[in-house]
Amino acid sequence: AQTVTQSQPEMSVQEAETVTLSCTYDTSENNYYLFWYKQPPSRQMILVIRQEAYKQQNATENRFSVNFQKAAKSFSLKISDSQLGDTAMYFCAFTTSGTYKYIFGTGTRLKVLA
């Protein structure tokens, strides 16, 4: 079975500091996609960053970057220069080509402190 595990239920970080959220997954597939979604209190799910498994280069979107370790099946999210607006639940998600099913982790609640 394919699973996504987020082992940190809650984290906090000081404004302007850097924080890393962990995610591990389990699959026997070779062609898959990984995502980080942000869910602020408004409930809206917002895509933060995406990584294709066949790409060795780690994805980066402004202050957000990932550390993708395929052999270890690890996909952590690094947020640099944390801002108050980054306070939200963060979900790691996984899908394989053609399954039309995205599997989510249980989320990490991140609080950015002023």
Partner 1 sequence: GEEVAQTPKHLVRGEGQKAKLYCAPIKGHSYVFWYQQVLKNEFKFLISFQNENVFDETGMPKERFSAKCLPNSPCSLEIQATKLEDSAVYFCASSQSGTGPATNEKLFFGSGTQLSVL
Closest CB 50 distance from partner 1, rounded Å: 7
For the purposes of burial, counting CB atoms within 10 Å of the CB of 98, is it exposed (0-12), middle (13-18) or buried (19 or more)?
exposed
Closest CB 105 distance from partner 1, rounded Å: 8
Which residues ranging from 78 to 97 are in contact with partner 1 (CB under 8 A)? 89, 91, 93, 95-97
Closest CB 104 distance from partner 1, rounded Å: 4
Residue count of the chain: 114
- Select from 60, 84, 99, 113 the one that contacts partner 1 (CB under 8 A): 99
HEC secondary structure over 51-87: EECCCCCCCEECCEEEEEECCCCEEEEEECCCCHHHC
**Do 75 and 66 touch, CB atoms closer than 8 A?**
yes
Total binding residues toward partner 1, as defined by CB under 8 A:
28
Query: One symbol per residue from 21 to 60: x for binding partner 1 (CB under 8 A), - otherwise; what is it?
Result: ----------x-x-x-x-x--xxxx-x--x-x-x------
The SS3 call for residue 29 is: coil
Residue numbers at the binding site for partner 1 (CB under 8 A): 31, 33, 35, 37, 39, 42-45, 47, 50, 52, 54, 89, 91, 93, 95-104, 106-107
